[in-house]
């Protein structure tokens, strides 16, 4: 008899049972609060090269939207199928270039899912643990530093071979790896992944290349940068 009453209540409410407004409000408040903490962690501790505030603004909004969606569809099979159909039509194209951005956005989605599903205690504990891990790991400033750089050399002197450039640079580098070498009628281009010695200045690398070809063009930038 109780099952029949439950089915009848579901049919009257459109397939969605009554939601505990008080509990939902508490979970939503915790969801927003935790998402703002994630935002502050991203802005303060992220080593991302793109605009941190641009992505940080999205984190609380994303968590809140996920919370709303899960609260609406979690108790209705029809709405869940409708959401799947809508997502199959809408194509999301985001200019995310770095894995760290995806990690923080996925954390925001997980927070919205956890609180909307009613797993308040577990979501709070696990989210806090993840943030603590980020804090203690990224508190070391050396983590955000990199010693790998891309070195791009363009030269036109036919008497200068790549071997000469390589032999000249290896004396001031810890490591050098050839990524790409182009040879053509209008000149030569070499793309290298290099790790300079700690006591070597960038000008010394440029001077060694310019010594072989004074008209050579040299570009030097961080290896993880996306241009």
Output the DSSP codes for 156-219: --TT--HHHHHHHHGGGEEEEEEEEEEEETTEEEEEEEEEE-TT--HHHHHHHHHHH-TT-EEE
* Residue 64 CB neighbour total at 10 angstroms: 19
* Residue 192 CB neighbour total at 10 angstroms: 22
Cα→Cα distances 87→44, 84, 112, 130, 180, Å: 33, 5, 18, 29, 40
pLDDT at 193 over 80: yes
pLDDT at 88 over 60: no
Percent of the chain with pLDDT over 70: 72
Q: Which pLDDT value is given to residue 38?
A: 92
Its pTM surpasses 0.75:
no
Range with the poorest average pLDDT among 7-16, 18-27, 218-227: 7-16
Q: Which pLDDT value is given to residue 10?
A: 47
Q: Is 189 within 8 Å of 154 (Cβ atoms)?
A: yes
């Amino acid at each position: 008899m109780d099952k029949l009453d439950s089915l009848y209540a579901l049919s009257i409410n459109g397939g969605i049972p009554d939601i505990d407004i008080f509990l939902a409000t508490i979970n939503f408040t915790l969801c927003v609060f935790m998402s703002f903490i994630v935002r502050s962690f991203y802005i303060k501790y992220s080593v991302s090269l793109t605009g941190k505030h641009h992505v940080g603004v999205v984190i609380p909004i994303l968590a809140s939207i996920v919370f709303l969606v899960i609260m609406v569809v979690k108790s209705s099979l029809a709405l869940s199928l409708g959401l799947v159909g809508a997502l199959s039509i809408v194509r999301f194209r985001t200019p995310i270039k770095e894995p760290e951005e995806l990690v923080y956005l996925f954390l925001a989605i997980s927070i919205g899912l956890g609180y909307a599903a009613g797993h308040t205690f577990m979501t709070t504990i696990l989210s806090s643990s993840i943030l603590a891990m980020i804090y203690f790991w990224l508190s070391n400033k050396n983590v955000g530093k990199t010693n790998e750089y891309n070195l791009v050399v363009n030269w036109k002197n036919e008497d200068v071979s790549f071997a000469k450039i390589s032999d000249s640079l290896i004396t001031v580098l810890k490591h050098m790896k050839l990524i790409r070498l182009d040879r053509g009628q209008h000149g030569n281009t070499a793309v290298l992944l290099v790790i300079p010695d700690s006591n070597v200045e960038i000008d010394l690398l440029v001077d060694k290349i310019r010594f072989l070809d004074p008209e050579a063009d040299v570009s030097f930038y961080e290896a993880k940068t996306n241009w």
